Chains A and B, each alone.
Chain A
Amino acid sequence: MTARTDAVAANPVEAFLRSDRMPHIWCPGCGIGTTVNCFARALLQAKLNLDRVVVVSGIGCTGRVAGYLELDSFHTTHGRAIPFATGLKLANPELTVVVYSGDGDLVGIGGNHFIHAARRNVDLKVICVNNFTYGMTGGQVAPTTPLGALSTTTPYGCFEQPFNLPQLAESSGAVYVARWTSYHVRQLTHAFGEALRKKGFSFIEILSPCPTLYERRNRLGDGLEMMKYFKEQSLVRHGAPTKELGLTFQGPIAVGKFVDRERPTFLETLNQQLARTLEAQYAGCAGEHVRD
């Protein structure tokens, strides 16, 4: 017999998970688990020292990721994943700091932190799982809810213009911007690997189904139906101008890698400026010695 139901320990991603917390709280058909699966495989392929990889999450369904990954992780207050991660990175620049959170947490509650971390080009890998709604709190309208979509707080259809997240990230200053969906597992794993190697503010938006709140309210079927929509409506447009990447309700989705550029990071500019001003008095910030 080829299929075995008793095999658990040898799953390649099992080493990255806190198995005692499984099964996780995510609903059947939710895509967050798929993104975590891809992230674990990217870590596996990247061959990083896992003692130096940190995952920071905010509040929300995606915020639970930090609690399920067997890495140093922190579950911050709502919207404050990026400030915490910034402090972590500045205090210990050797760490690879990943911010893994949802759209409501990152660009809704924590939107101010998001644009300023991108502006300063803090060396963070920001992963935003976009399910178009505030999932954990009951399906309220989010800054990413498409026009016309129903939510608990917009029962007659959303009338707020949603964020175009790749454009927001690029115009704020991110050096790596990509968008994939939870259907594009291989591309997503590759993008995670690229972001982990990239120096500077890297941003990956992942569209993901929310079958319980977003889809049921909008009568879009289950998680699998949403995955099929991602499959049929996605068009790979690497390098496309990010102003063209806005999303509409059940409309076409442009996916791909849109921005990959170089800019000095926050720590580099900090050290450069202070070394220039203070000269010999300056010993370098956070363990980085400028006067070598």
Chain B
Amino acid sequence: MDAEPTAPPGAGQPVEKTRRVRGVVYINGLRCKGCGFCIAFCPPKVLEFSSEFNPLGYHPPHLVRPEGCTGCDLCGLYCPDFAIYAVMIKNEPEDTRPPAPPAEGAPP
């Protein structure tokens, strides 16, 4: 099973009421052990288990409602496997969001 980024369900679908994205979530699906802490304790409940398996055999989380993320980084604080974190975006239009960091350090 490859760990390529998978588009969340509903990505590309028209959203009726668009809210400005306030946070970005970065997920390292290779490290995740599927404990579900981030999903259960996310205040705006924007994460859900992905249906795909990672190489360890767990279902990593994925972002289902990008517009709901506030970038509070509580998922990053809860993660026992250091596999997820969030970054807050302050007063920036959506198209100037910081790009994802390079994949160096990711196991093959």
A and B from one assembly?
yes
Interface residues of A (CB under 8 A from B): 1-14, 17, 19, 22-24, 26-34, 36-38, 41, 183, 185-186, 189, 222-224, 227-228
- Return chain B residues, CB-CB under 8 Å to A36: 80
User: B6 contacts which of A5, A29, A222 (Cβ < 8 Å)?
Assistant: A5
- Return chain B residues, CB-CB under 8 Å to A29: 33, 35-36, 80
- Return chain B residues, CB-CB under 8 Å to A28: 33-35, 58
B33, A23: Cβ atoms closer than 8 Å: yes
How many cross-chain pairs have Cβ atoms below 8 Å apart between A and B? 133
Q: A5-B30, A6-B106, A30-B35 are in contact. List 11 more A-B contacts (CB 8 A).
A: A2-B97, A13-B82, A14-B105, A26-B80, A28-B33, A33-B80, A37-B76, A37-B80, A185-B78, A222-B35, A224-B37
B103, A11: Cβ atoms closer than 8 Å: no
B102, A9: Cβ atoms closer than 8 Å: yes
- Return chain B residues, CB-CB under 8 Å to A37: 76-80, 82
- Return chain B residues, CB-CB under 8 Å to A189: 77
Digitize B1-14: 1 where CB-to-A-CB distance is under 8 Å, 0 elsewhere.
00111111001000
From A17, which residue of chain B is reached at the shortest CB distance?
A: B82
From A33, which residue of chain B is reached at the shortest CB distance?
A: B80
User: B66 contacts which of A2, A23, A31, A223 (Cβ < 8 Å)?
Assistant: A2
Digitize B34-71: 1 where CB-to-A-CB distance is under 8 Å, 0 elsewhere.
11110011000000000000001010101100100100
Residue B104 interfacial (CB < 8 Å): yes
From B47, which residue of chain A is reached at the shortest CB distance?
A: A3
In the bound assembly, the distance between CA atoms of A30 and B78 in angstroms comes to: 11
B77, A38: Cβ atoms closer than 8 Å: yes
Offer 15 A-B interface pairs, CB within 8 angstroms, sorted by A: A2-B69, A3-B25, A5-B5, A8-B31, A8-B103, A9-B103, A9-B104, A13-B82, A13-B85, A19-B105, A22-B31, A23-B81, A29-B36, A37-B82, A38-B77
Interface residues of B (CB under 8 A from A): 3-8, 11, 21, 24-31, 33-37, 40-41, 56, 58, 60, 62-63, 66, 69, 74, 76-82, 85, 97, 100-106
A12, B35: Cβ atoms closer than 8 Å: no
Instruction: From known contacts A8-B103, A9-B104, A227-B40, infer whether A34 and B79 are also in contact, taking CB-CB under 8 Å.
Output: yes
Instruction: From known contacts A3-B5, A3-B62, A224-B40, infer whether A185 and B26 are also in contact, taking CB-CB under 8 Å.
Output: no
- Return chain B residues, CB-CB under 8 Å to A24: 81
In the bound assembly, the distance between CA atoms of A41 and B82 in angstroms comes to: 12
B26, A10: Cβ atoms closer than 8 Å: yes
From B98, which residue of chain A is reached at the shortest CB distance?
A: A10
- Return chain A residues, CB-CB under 8 Å to B62: 3
In the bound assembly, the distance between CA atoms of A5 and B100 in angstroms comes to: 9
B77, A186: Cβ atoms closer than 8 Å: yes
Instruction: Give, as a whole number of angstroms, the nearest-CB distance from A169 to chain B.
Output: 25
B63, A3: Cβ atoms closer than 8 Å: yes
- Return chain A residues, CB-CB under 8 Å to B76: 11-13, 37
From B6, which residue of chain A is reached at the shortest CB distance?
A: A5
B85, A1: Cβ atoms closer than 8 Å: no
Instruction: Give, as a whole number of angstroms, the nearest-CB distance from B89 to chain A.
Output: 10
User: B81 contacts which of A14, A33, A186, A227 (Cβ < 8 Å)?
Assistant: A33
